[in-house]
Homo-oligomer: A and B are copies of this chain.
Amino acid sequence: MAGYDPRTFPAVAVTVDLVVLTVRDGGLCVLVVRRGEEPYAGREALPGGFVRPDEDLLAAAQRELAEETGLTPGAAHLEQLASYGAPDRDPRMRVVTVAHLALVADPPDPRAGSDAAAARWAPVAEVSPGLAFDHDRVLGDGVARARAKLEYTALAASFCRSSFTVAELRRVYEAVWGRPLDPRNFHRKVTSAAGFLEPTGETTTRDGGRPAQLYRRGPAAALHPPLLRAEN
Greatest chain B CB density within 10 A among A11, A14, A47 is at: A14
Greatest chain B CB density within 10 A among A45, A82, A93 is at: A82
How many angstroms from the CA of A118 to the CA of B15 in the assembled complex?
34
Interface size class on chain A is 35 or more
| Cβ contacts A178-206/B at 8 Å (1 or 0 each) | 00000000000000000000000000000
Output the least CB separation between A16 and chain B (Å). Answer: 9
How many angstroms from the CA of A71 to the CA of B57 in the assembled complex?
32
**Copies of this chain held together in the complex:** 2
Task: Give the residue of B53, B82, B133 whose beta carbon is less than 8 angstroms from that of A94.
Answer: B53
Output the least CB separation between A52 and chain B (Å). Answer: 7
Q: Is A51 an interface residue (CB 8 A)?
A: yes
Which of A29-37, A154-162, A165-173, A213-221 binds B?
A: A29-37
Q: Is A76 an interface residue (CB 8 A)?
A: no
Which residues of B sit under 8 angstroms from A225, Cβ to Cβ? 229
If A4-B50, A36-B2 touch, whether A57 touches B45 (CB-CB below 8 Å) is no
Q: Is A109 an interface residue (CB 8 A)?
A: no
A14 touches B45 (CB 8 A): no
How many angstroms from the CA of A168 to the CA of B201 in the assembled complex?
53
B14 touches A6 (CB 8 A): no
Which residues of B sit under 8 angstroms from A84, Cβ to Cβ? 57
CB proximity to B under 8 Å, residues A32-75: 33, 35-37, 45-57
CB proximity to B under 8 Å, residues A110-141: 113, 115-117, 133
Output the least CB separation between A87 and chain B (Å). Answer: 5
B13 touches A87 (CB 8 A): no
B83 touches A83 (CB 8 A): yes
